[in-house]
Amino acid sequence: PLTIYRKDYTAPSYLVDTVELGFDLDPARTIVANRMTMRRNPASGQREIELYGEEIDLVALRVNGKTLGKRDYRIDGNLLRIPNAPEDVVLEIETICAPEKNTALSGLYVSNGNFITQCEAEGFRRITYFPDRPDVMAKYTVMLRAEKQRYPVLLSNGNLVEEGELPGGRHYAKWEDPFPKPSYLFALVASNLVCQEEKFKLADGRTALLQVWVEEGNLDKTDYAMQSLKRSIRWDEERFGLELDLDRFMIVATGDFNMGAMENKGLNIFNTKYVLANPRVATDLDFQGIEAVVGHEYFHNWTGNRVTCRDWFQLSLKEGLTVFRDQEFSGDMVGTDSGRAVNRIDQVRTLRQVQFPEDAGPMAHPVRPDSFVEINNFYTVTVYEKGAEVVRMYQTLLGREGFRKGMDLYFERHDGQAVECDDFRRAMADANGRDLAQFERWYSQAGTPRVRAAMRYDAAAKTVELTLSQSCPPTPGQPDKLPFHIPVAVGLVGRDGRDIPLVIDGEPRGNTAVLELTAAEQSWRFTNVPELPVPSLLRDFSAPVVLEYDYRDEDLLHLFSHDSDPVNRWEAGQRLAMERLLKLTADVTAGSRMQLDDTFVDAMRKVLTDDALDPAFREQALLLPTENMIAEQTEVVHPLSIHMARQFVRATIGTRLRKELMAAIDANQTPGEYSPDAEAIGKRALKNLALSYLAAATDDNEAIDLAGQQFEQADNMTDKAAALGALIHARAQSAAGALQDFYDEFQGEALVVDKWFALQASAPSTDVGAVRALMQHPAFNIRNPNRARSLVATFCMANHVQFHVPDGSGYQFWAEQVIALDALNPQVASRLARAMDRWRRYAPVLQAHMKKALQQVNGQKKLSNDVREVISKALA
């Protein structure tokens, strides 16, 4: 497969001013008429029109009214070239596609009988021939024609300008989008969906029509998405002065979708998972996900749509920035400092659990990649979540006001343009009169930097010298790294647990100072430090790095009890837990007896019973690092040892803190009407974590009864699913019956059936045979991405014990499923393929089986570019 390089970017040869699209929609044979006005791009100097097309049949091609013969153009793979084209061109193209055969869910496809599109990144070329690249922005007019009874609702981007009847029971609707946009933001929906709608007053006094479209029968689950949309609109007005620029904003939910949602201009298309919710079927996590994703897609209207990417290497320009914005939105919606910290902790967990491993594995790439084979493989945690951290660092360095100034300048300069990550950085620098040249390395260098800290206290001089040094491990194609510009927020915690006011070079710096580490090694001198402090480093996780400091247990216990920065307070607990988990893992591998010290259990008790702390924070503090995180810290990965060590700690907490956990369950009930507010969510989280620890203690029948009762009596999905999970993981006798009852009750709710599959797929009691049996269940359908992910991907990525069984049967299953899925949906297959990324770190027996499975997939003659890229990088 062909590798595409960022350095090879050239401007488009022709620009497109207007696009008129006509669709005669038919599942088997849709006719697409495309009329474009184009003009030569002075920035290019080329005279050849370049159009992309994939899986479509060309019927006719006309230039300025003249039909082109076979000699007038060339088709080379997916590229159609018209040489020696005139300066100004009206190009008319007629093509045919077959949406019902489109299992890849890219381009125009059929989902449960409705027409849906997904054009990012390169799906538009599966609809018509087009210069399908983000730097070609045009104004679109769209005419949709379809059978009226089957598809009463015809939607596209922008404003509805005309609709009417056609002969033969068909009808039409014409849509006009006033804003120039890249082709990846085009969308259409032809369906029998129904909507919840509302008029909403915007800050400038205009009124916008907001709609949430879903299948009939789901109107009882749209309210939270609508509320989230209104909150998003208001928030962007207030925080960034950005208004909705359309009279109508639509969200459409579909059950067949490769990702979470898509920000098409004025017509966002969502996976049902991020729209449908009511307390009966959705968990707290689902509600939070809906708010975040609705916000995310809405915020793209400015960061992505109004200002878009010059090329796909710049993807983080819109994704990193928009994730940062949705994170800030979620934080502001919680409102309290403690709630904000809990959100931040979640973000840190995601980074450590998924992004750090990516950054250390064969698919490691910079936030702005230099090359790719398949762009769909680069919608990654690095581009999204690390990209958001990079944006967050601007705010940490410049302050909130400085960041806002940078945003304002960015829009002032680039509204309506397709730009680069460097343009964003320049706007931040120029608006604040700062030199951010070195900051560029966050975009160009892959890998997670390590920051090592050392502290020296001089009791006589009452000074602290803090030395920070940085390094970054090699990543594919980047053996050596230059120093990053790293904001390190620090505090000094005194013996009484209070922050010692910071004075650096005679200048008071408050209780937390942001140190700017730019060299390989730097030192800072703090004066007026009356006693030996405990340093609190990287407060609020001020940079996406691994922070190393030789903390003693008592230092960590001190921070765990007192740090005024809640993220670092949590972090101290995680370090205490990780030390023990690593030691216990080694004990299991060596066949030694496991033992957990009182100090750790007492620290857990203290936090569990500290009523001054929010339940949500207590839950985070009691949550152990995941098996993935432990694996990342071990030299040779033995998944079973890791699992047993972690289970041992969970069970020990369950036994030794039994009384306190029972009390926490009692104290954190949420009677009355269900509400997804932060306080109630925190209570349920703590209660359900307590339940899971108790259930993990093998001989606790009372805990199993408690879980059984909760399962029976729960009036919301959060409590019901948590109780079912506790029963399954504890291998309770009642688990099988509960699973059956759960399925019987919710079999009509697709998203709950996904949970039912996922709960089983992730349980250590579910082996590969059981997964194969579940694949025969009438509700399983490998063509549906949500369903395939809930069973197959969950097993391969979250059931460490069974996936990694020593006979390699888990890996064999993985290979079969990657191959089978690839023939249907390369994007979903390639995400599953990533389950093997870290194969070289596993114990030799496992490694050998993994390599064999990878080679089996690699040996397939017919493989998509998507999967080929992931597998060949893993084997390289």
Active site residues: 297
Structure tokens at 7: 């350095």
* Touching ligand HT7, residues 443-482 (CB under 6 A): none
Pick one of Zn ion, ligand HT7, none as the site partner of residue 274 (Cβ within 5 to 8 A by kind).
none
Stretch of 116-124, 196-204, 500-508, 802-810 contacting ligand HT7, by CB under 6 A? 116-124
Residue whose CB is less far from Zn ion, 322 or 794: 322
- Contact flag: residue 302 with ligand HT7 (CB under 6 A): no
- Contact flag: residue 118 with ligand HT7 (CB under 6 A): yes
Stretch of 294-302, 398-406, 524-532, 841-849 contacting ligand HT7, by CB under 6 A? 294-302
Q: β-strand 79-82 against 88-97: which pairing, if any?
A: unpaired
Planar angle of CA 851, 856, 857, nearest 5 degrees: 100
Stretch of 254-262, 357-365, 422-430, 479-487 contacting ligand HT7, by CB under 6 A? 254-262
Number of residues this chain uses to bind ligand HT7 (CB under 6 A):
15
- Longest Cα–Cα distance in the chain: 95
Stretch of 141-149, 256-264, 737-745, 800-808 contacting ligand HT7, by CB under 6 A? 256-264
Per DSSP, which regions of 64-136 are E strands? Answer: 66-67, 74-76, 79-82, 88-97, 107-111, 114-118
- Write down the least CB distance from residue 320 to Zn ion, Å: 9
Give the C-alpha separation, 252 to 814, whole Å.
Answer: 33
Give the C-alpha separation, 650 to 388, whole Å.
Answer: 32
C-beta of residue 212 within 8 angstroms of C-beta of residue 195: yes
DSSP state of 874: H
| Nearest residue to ligand HT7, scored by beta-carbon proximity | 259
Planar angle of CA 284, 288, 292, nearest 5 degrees: 170
Which one among 50, 92, 120, 571 touches ligand HT7, defined by CB under 6 A? 120
- Contact flag: residue 122 with ligand HT7 (CB under 6 A): no
Phi/psi for 446 (5° steps) reads -85, 175
C-beta of residue 331 within 8 angstroms of C-beta of residue 291: no
Pick one of ligand HT7, Zn ion, none as the site partner of residue 767 (Cβ within 5 to 8 A by kind).
none
- Write down the least CB distance from residue 78 to ligand HT7, Å: 17
Stretch of 117-125, 465-473, 782-790, 836-844 contacting ligand HT7, by CB under 6 A? 117-125
- Write down the least CB distance from residue 392 to ligand HT7, Å: 17
Nearest to 536 by CA among 522, 545, 549, 527: 549
- Contact flag: residue 829 with ligand HT7 (CB under 6 A): no
- Contact flag: residue 258 with ligand HT7 (CB under 6 A): yes
C-beta of residue 190 within 8 angstroms of C-beta of residue 144: yes
Stretch of 203-211, 261-269, 752-760, 769-777 contacting ligand HT7, by CB under 6 A? 261-269
Q: Is 162 helix (H, G, I), strand (E, B) or coil?
A: strand
Give the C-alpha separation, 791 to 788, whole Å.
Answer: 6
- Contact flag: residue 259 with ligand HT7 (CB under 6 A): yes
Structure tokens at 388: 């958001």
Nearest to 376 by CA among 112, 107, 139, 110: 107
- Write down the least CB distance from residue 190 to Zn ion, Å: 25
Q: Please, is 713 exposed, middle or buried when counting C-beta atoms within 10 Å of its C-beta (0-12, 13-18, 19+)?
A: exposed
Pick one of Zn ion, ligand HT7, none as the site partner of residue 118 (Cβ within 5 to 8 A by kind).
ligand HT7
Dihedral class, residue 762 (left if φ above 0, else alpha if ψ from -120 to 50, else beta):
alpha
- Cβ-proximal residues to 63 (8 Å cutoff; 6+ apart), any chain: 72, 82, 85, 86, 89, 90, 91
Which one among 61, 89, 93, 121 touches ligand HT7, defined by CB under 6 A? 121
- Cβ-proximal residues to 178 (8 Å cutoff; 6+ apart), any chain: 139, 158, 159
- Write down the least CB distance from residue 303 to Zn ion, Å: 9
- Write down the least CB distance from residue 122 to ligand HT7, Å: 9
Residue whose CB is less far from ligand HT7, 274 or 560: 274
Which one among 215, 286, 291, 297 touches ligand HT7, defined by CB under 6 A? 297
Pick one of Zn ion, ligand HT7, none as the site partner of residue 15 (Cβ within 5 to 8 A by kind).
none
Q: Any idea which residue has 């399954």 for tokens? A: 728
Residue whose CB is less far from Zn ion, 421 or 723: 421
- Write down the least CB distance from residue 391 to ligand HT7, Å: 14
Which one among 156, 196, 330, 376 touches ligand HT7, defined by CB under 6 A? 376
- Write down the least CB distance from residue 111 to ligand HT7, Å: 13
Residue whose CB is less far from ligand HT7, 300 or 787: 300
Dihedral class, residue 351 (left if φ above 0, else alpha if ψ from -120 to 50, else beta):
alpha
Give the C-alpha separation, 127 to 876, whole Å.
Answer: 35
Q: Is 59 helix (H, G, I), strand (E, B) or coil?
A: strand
How far out from the chain centre does Cα 398 lie?
26
Residue whose CB is less far from ligand HT7, 290 or 850: 290
Give the C-alpha separation, 342 to 701, whole Å.
Answer: 32
Pick one of Zn ion, ligand HT7, none as the site partner of residue 581 (Cβ within 5 to 8 A by kind).
none
Which one among 262, 596, 630, 645 touches ligand HT7, defined by CB under 6 A? 262
The site for ligand HT7 (CB under 6 A) is made up of 118, 120-121, 258-259, 261-263, 296-297, 300, 319, 376, 379, 827
